Chain A
Amino acid sequence: GIQVEQSPPDLILQEGANSTLRCNFSDSVNNLQWFHQNPWGQLINLFYIPSGTKQNGRLSATTVATERYSLLYISSSQTTDSGVYFCAVFGTSGSRLTFGEGTQLTVNP
């Protein structure tokens, strides 16, 4: 099946800093989503981005499907950004969304 690798596994920032999270995947995809898992365990959908660039406030994402990677940018980080960020992809064959291992982000005040 499709493989999803996220980096870095852990990231510690000071409030106000910017960061880039990376997601590499091993095959062509129909769907790519970024999620934020909050401290209560809820999966918050950030972006649906199989290709191109999107922005939502301080967050933006870019997927380069031909090179099989996606980037999530967080600018002016806040303590409420802390949590685990997951990338998940839906390959062109099969019917499952496959998650990466996640990036654990800690934003300190």
Chain B
Amino acid sequence: EPEVTQTPSHQVTQMGQEVILRCVPISNHLYFYWYRQILGQKVEFLVSFYNNEISEKSEIFDDQFSVERPDGSNFTLKIRSTKLEDSAMYFCASSAPAGSYNSPLHFGNGTRLTVT
């Protein structure tokens, strides 16, 4: 079964550094998402992306965050200047094969980001 793959699985960075989290969504999916989960808390929506633009973003997704689909396969989340409170598990997801609107989101295994 096709999977959403995320790299790296763990990343440690220093406060103020830029990080890029990478995702390869399922190949025929059209909608892409980033979520984050601070340790012990619920999974929070960051941003959705469709047709090469942001569809919706949450209040968490401020100017420090950006997303990009640089080619036909990758979907990236960039944090420009990391803060301690950005430490979390970041999940990428994709959904909606062509021709289907209501379909499940498929999640990757996550990238655990630690900011020191």
Shortest Cβ distance from B43 into A: residue: A99
Whether A41 contacts B56 by the Cβ 8 Å rule is no
User: Which of A30, A40, A43, A96 is in CB contact (< 8 Å) with B56?
Assistant: A96
Shortest Cβ distance from A48 into B: residue: B104
Shortest Cβ distance from A92 into B: residue: B102
Instruction: Please classify the interface of chain A as helix (H, G, I), strand (E, B), loop, or mixed, using the class held by over half of its residues.
Output: strand
**B109 located at the interface, meaning its Cβ lies under 8 Å from any Cβ of chain A in the complex:** yes
Interface residues on B, range: 20 to 34
Whether A95 contacts B56 by the Cβ 8 Å rule is yes
Instruction: Please classify the interface of chain B as helix (H, G, I), strand (E, B), loop, or mixed, using the class held by over half of its residues.
Output: strand
**Alpha-carbon distance between A88 and B35 when the two chains are bound, in angstroms:** 12
Given A88-B43, A99-B43: A94 in contact with B109 (beta carbons within 8 A): no
**B27 located at the interface, meaning its Cβ lies under 8 Å from any Cβ of chain A in the complex:** no
Interface members, chain A 12-49 (any B CB < 8 Å)? 30-31, 33, 35, 40-43, 45, 48
**Alpha-carbon distance between A41 and B55 when the two chains are bound, in angstroms:** 27
Interface residues on A, range: 20 to 34
A43 partner residues in chain B, CB cutoff 8 A: 43, 91, 107, 110
Other A-B pairs, 17, CB within 8 Å; known A45-B104, A96-B45? A30-B101, A33-B105, A41-B110, A41-B112, A42-B110, A43-B91, A43-B107, A45-B106, A45-B107, A50-B102, A95-B48, A95-B56, A96-B48, A97-B33, A97-B93, A100-B42, A102-B42
**Which A residues have a C-beta under 8 Å from some C-beta of B?**
30-31, 33, 35, 40-43, 45, 48, 50, 86, 88, 90, 94-102
